[in-house]
Amino acid sequence: MKVRTRIVFLDDRGEKFFGEGPCRLLRGVAETGSLHAAAASMDMAYTKALRLLKRAEQTLGFPLTQRSAGGKHGGGSCLTPQGKEWLERYEAYRDACIQANRQLYQKFYGEEL
């Protein structure tokens, strides 16, 4: 048996706008400096990655990334200060929820996960 803790943020209409997918995408942008590379590492189309970010940014009300178009010197992406803070807070919250769930599982079922 497996127990999984999932943290998903929903907008006012109850639609998902942030979870593990966008989290991994932002982490990839932070590590590679490229939305295209981050999407490719997840086997995700660039257009889908862009759509995910735009949806999250629209709901949150601030930009998560700063993107510059390609060209002679190439383009790139990086996290905005607000994007970096959001990502760090999401990951800390997610990790705390996972730990709390492990403790609750042990309390109710008497076993370690």
pTM (two decimals): 0.88
Considering only CA atoms, which of 5, 1, 2, 3 is closest in space to residue 96?
5
How many Cβ atoms sit within 10 Å of the Cβ of residue 15?
9
Instruction: List C-alpha distances in Å: 39 to 1, 49, 57, 69, 105.
Output: 32, 6, 17, 16, 34
pLDDT tens per residue, range 22-55 = 999 999 999 999 999 999 999 999 999 999 999 9
pLDDT tens per residue, range 47-96 = 999 999 999 999 999 999 998 876 656 678 999 999 999 999 999 999 99
